[in-house]
């Protein structure tokens, strides 16, 4: 594995996102950046095994900033209109999980003074996550609610925060309810009602993306919760087979550049394979190739390569290292990082 990989990624982040990098490492002021961008930097530093470089002062300032955001599932604070999405709330909580082994006090700062509105994120009648029905045919998009809300619940339950008590047991209950929108044959999301409309959607989606990648990438957001909770996947044989096919069919990456979609596919290949005790030699070879492709890409990333893609690419790199049974030169004891086990979201 390339000994220059970590330095290449770091140099890219410093060159393109200097203000954010300097802020989080303690040598700059807090920039005017989105919540997602702040989260991207924290995940990047963590996946580069550089979490010790994060400044305590930056954490304090970030918590003060996050405490003013409107979160899904909590009543808005007086005068606050900056509402974030379910995805970004799960991402924010993932950052809190990464910033400290015992993140309860961090959650306390962010949640202080809020009023819980559980009905805003969980349907009281069927325990399903509340999601926009207009996206029911878009498995990848709707999965950000179907997986993101259980991630929020799990983070709260395990946070150690004084605000966590109402969430005890909720993640399991909501995850159980999600079985009703997952196919027992394919293991994929089936939140839609009309098969005809679904076929039409897939035909339109195919004009820009592979709909199979969208479907498998969608269920990945729910499988992250299963992985974090130690649950067996539904139809794991079918999932392992389809993810393995996609992994080997799309080269060098699932799409044009490495990002979270690669992680979605590789993580299913690895974790479903572990559950099945199924290990394909071609998957190991493919993971070796993808490691090299990611290393080569970060020698000179494209001008339009966004910050949000970096954590997904790095997480993919770690998953490939797991699959290849490789040690990493820049992590503790050379062991790859299982980001979902720690953050519950990406």
What pLDDT, on a 0 to 100 scale, did the predictor assign at position 9?
Answer: 97
Q: Tell me, letter by letter, the H, E, C secondary structure of 291-304.
A: HHHHHHHCCCCCCC
Distance CA 72, CA 151 (A): 13
For residue 308, the SS3 value is coil
What pLDDT, on a 0 to 100 scale, did the predictor assign at position 82?
Answer: 80
181-208 pLDDT, tens per residue?
999 999 999 877 767 666 666 666 666 7
Torsion angle, CA of 12/309/30/108, rounded to 10 degrees?
Answer: -140
159 vs 304, more confident: 159
Distance CA 182, CA 176 (A): 11
b vs e for 81-117, b when ≥16 Cβ sit within 10 Å of the residue's Cβ? eeebebbbbbbbbbbbbbbeeebeebbbbbbeebeee
The tokens for 207 are 């004009």
- CA angle 72/309/211 to nearest 5° reads 80
* 83 beta partners: 70
- What is the residue-wise DSSP string for 231-262? PPPTTHHHHHHHHHHHHHHS-SSSSSS-SHHH
227-253 pLDDT, tens per residue?
999 999 999 999 999 999 999 999 999
The tokens for 98 are 């990464």
Q: What are the counts of helices (DSSP H) followed by strands (DSSP E) for the chain?
A: 16, 2
98-114 pLDDT, tens per residue?
999 999 999 999 999 99
Distance CA 207, CA 243 (A): 21
Contact yes or no for 340/227 (Cβ under 8 A): yes
* Residue ranges per structural domain of the chain: 5-343
Average of pLDDT values for 44-72? 96
Return the closest-CA partner of residue 325 out of 277, 283, 295: 283
280-312 pLDDT, tens per residue?
899 999 999 999 999 999 999 988 899 999 999
Average of per-residue pLDDT values in the chain: 93
- CA angle 9/13/18 to nearest 5° reads 155
Return the closest-CA partner of residue 189 out of 253, 234, 154, 241: 234
pTM for this prediction: 0.94
Distance CA 293, CA 251 (A): 9
Q: How distant is the alpha carbon of residue 307 from its chain centre?
A: 14
* 80 beta partners: none
| Phi, psi of 212, deg, nearest 5 | -65, -40
Contact yes or no for 70/32 (Cβ under 8 A): no
5-343: CATH topology: Glycosyltransferase (1.50.10)
Distance CA 247, CA 244 (A): 5
What pLDDT, on a 0 to 100 scale, did the predictor assign at position 28?
Answer: 87
What pLDDT, on a 0 to 100 scale, did the predictor assign at position 136?
Answer: 72
79: left (phi over 0), alpha (psi -120 to 50) or beta: left
């Amino acid at each position: 594995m390339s000994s220059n990989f970590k330095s290449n990624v770091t140099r890219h982040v410093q060159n393109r996102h200097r203000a954010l990098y300097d802020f989080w490492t303690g040598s700059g002021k807090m920039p005017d950046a989105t919540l997602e961008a702040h989260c991207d930097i924290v995940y990047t530093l963590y996946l580069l095994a550089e979490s010790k470089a994060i400044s305590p002062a930056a954490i304090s300032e970030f918590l003060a900033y996050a405490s003013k955001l409107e979160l899904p599932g909590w009543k808005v604070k007086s005068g606050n209109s900056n509402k974030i999405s379910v995805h970004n709330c799960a991402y924010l909580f993932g950052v809190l999980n990464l910033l400290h082994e015992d993140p309860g006090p961090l959650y306390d700062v962010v949640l202080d003074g809020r009023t819980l509105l559980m009905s805003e994120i969980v349907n009281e009648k069927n325990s399903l996550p509340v999601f926009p029905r207009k996206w029911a045919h878009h498995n990848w998009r709707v999965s950000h609610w179907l997986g993101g809300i259980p991630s929020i619940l799990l983070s709260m339950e395990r946070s150690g925060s004084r605000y966590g008590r109402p969430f005890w047991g909720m993640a399991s209950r909501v995850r159980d309810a999600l079985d009703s929108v997952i196919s027992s044959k394919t293991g994929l999301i089936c939140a839609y009602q009309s098969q005809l409309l679904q076929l039409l959607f897939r035909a339109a989606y195919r004009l820009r993306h592979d709909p199979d990648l969208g479907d498998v990438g969608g269920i990945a957001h729910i499988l992250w919760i299963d992985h974090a909770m130690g649950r067996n996947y539904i139809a794991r044989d079918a999932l392992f087979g389809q993810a393995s096919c996609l992994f080997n069919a799309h080269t060098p990456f699932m799409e044009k550049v490495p990002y979270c979609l690669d992680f979605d596919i590789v993580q299913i290949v690895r974790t479903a394979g572990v559950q099945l005790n199924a290990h394909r030699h071609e998957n190991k070879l493919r993971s070796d190739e993808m490691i090299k492709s990611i290393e080569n890409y970060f020698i000179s990333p494209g001008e339009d390569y966004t910050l949000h893609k970096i954590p997904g690419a790095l997480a993919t790199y770690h998953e490939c290292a797991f699959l290849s049974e490789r040690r990493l030169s820049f992590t503790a004891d050379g062991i790859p990082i299982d980001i979902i086990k720690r953050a519950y979201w990406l």
